[in-house]
Structure 1
Amino acid sequence: MSSMNSWTVPVSVLNDGDLILRPLRSADADAVFQCCTDTRMRAFISLPDPYTVEHARDYVESPALRWALSDPEDNYLGSIELRVLDEQARRVDVGYNTAPWARGRGLQTRALKLVLAHAFAHGVHRVEIYCRVDNQASRHVAEQAGAELEGILRQHNYHNGSYYDMALYALINPGAV
């Protein structure tokens, strides 16, 4: 197998019709700020407190395997990203969040399916998804995208002064089995 230093998953534009995944850009910072100051999102994601527009700018401008979800009018609807866990094993995890104004429409499940297909096409072997056990929306996204629950990681995440159990979901590249 070739060196993992040359292994990449490009942040290409992906779409399934009216849902478009594109690289984040500076113009998304205000929408990211609105999302990251949303009470429901902050309940599940560790973010600086207070979260500022400067944090949002840093987020959208950082080099990462990260996409913005948008509609055909280019309205920001959330984000999804891959994070490399083990380059040699080609193992990544995926994190996602949906803007408050876009929840309940199945967009994140569609986005996850697009990113999974893209990642597998570029050599990812295993994708892991970690969700707090009480985050039913996030767990539903993982399940609807075909991820299998592998187990519960007890007191795995520390957030806002408490430990939380995490559900571990995973998918294996179908071309590898």
Structure 2
Amino acid sequence: MQNITPSFAPVCLDVDPFLRRTGLPYWTWAKLRQLRVGEGFELLNFLAPGILPEVEGAVAVTVERQRGGVFRLDAVWTAHLGKNAQRRGHLLVWAHFKMLPKRKLELLPDKSATRPDSHLWCLRLIRVVLRRAALLASWAKRDGDRDAFGALYPGFFGTRYGPEEGALRWLEKLRGPAIRGTDA
């Protein structure tokens, strides 16, 4: 039997505080439980301004069910938004978890991780992506743009919008500063 140190061991977490902090509805957990192997579910997906005016960024959070009762949670943030956009950078993270009874999840460590707690950091960054999107949605609602609010808010899974009718026009107002050394 392999010796597992506590830092590389799986971590059991209650899912309700995670859902509450990210703005996801509580029935998200039931929706994920209904997924079959190979199926995916989009928690968030919208286009945003990219690093250059010709390039569009994207924000997405998806869950895919894999074999053995394992789920893969992916998050991407390539949007160039706000005055701190150059400092903030882009994110591409993933985490694997299993569903346990009583609304608990077992966060599984990545076998190729360089840090012992990388699975916890990945979950934290995924939560950051969802919270940033919820913040943008609240700003869009404050400005009175209902289409942008519906496209940005993590809890609205109904219809996602394309670049013409979604949040891209509203997000253009928040485009970050041009990167030095480019013509933009």
TM-score where L is the length of structure 1: 0.27
Higher RCO, Cα 8 Å, sep 6+: 2
TM-score where L is the length of structure 2: 0.26
Which structure's CA Rg is the greater one? Answer: 2
Which one has a larger percent strand, Structure 1 or Structure 2? 1
